[in-house]
Amino acid sequence: MRKIVHRHLGKMVAGTAIAVAGTAVMVAVTLPGTAGADDSGTRAGQSVPQEAGAAAAGGRAVAPGVVEAAPAEGQKGEGRDPLTDDELKRVEKIALSNQLFQSSESVDGDRGPQRLGVDLAEPEADEAGRPDAPRRADVTFYDYRDDTLVTRTVDLGTGKVVHSDTQHGVQPPLSRAEKAEAAGLLIADPLGSGLKADYQDATGKALTSPDQLQLSGAVYRAAPGAQPAVLDRCGEHRCVRLFPKVKNGPWVDARSLVIDLSARKVARLDR
* pLDDT (tens digit per residue) in 65-114: 666 554 455 577 777 788 999 999 999 999 999 999 999 999 999 999 99
> In this predicted model, what pLDDT tens digit does every residue of 8-35 receive, in sequence order?
433 333 344 333 333 333 333 333 333 3
Beta-strand pair 46-47/42-43: antiparallel
Query: What are the phi and psi torsion angles at 126 (to 5°)?
Result: -85, 0
- The model's confidence at residue 61, banded by pLDDT at 50, 70 and 90, is low
The C-alpha atoms of residue 220 and residue 47 are separated, in whole angstroms, by 60
- Evaluate the CA torsion angle 182, 183, 189, 193 in order and state its sign: positive
Residue 82 DSSP symbol: P
With CA atoms as reference, report the closest residue to 113 among 153, 88, 143. Answer: 143
Rounded distance between C-alpha atoms, residue 32 and residue 67, angstroms: 9
pLDDT at residue 227, rounded to an integer: 83
Share of the chain above pLDDT 70, in %: 72
The candidate with the shortest Cα–Cα distance to 73, out of 82, 60, 65, 64, is 82
- Average pLDDT in the 158-172 region? 95
The pLDDT value recorded for residue 158 is 93
Nearest to 137 by CA among 154, 125, 149: 154
Task: Dump pLDDT digits (tens) for 167-198.
Answer: 999 999 999 999 999 999 999 999 999 999 99
Q: Which of 126, 125, 136, 118 is nearest to 80 (CA)?
A: 136
54: confidence class by pLDDT, cuts 50, 70, 90 = very low
Residues 181 and 211: their CA atoms lie apart, in Å, by 10
Count CB neighbours of 10 within 10 A.
10
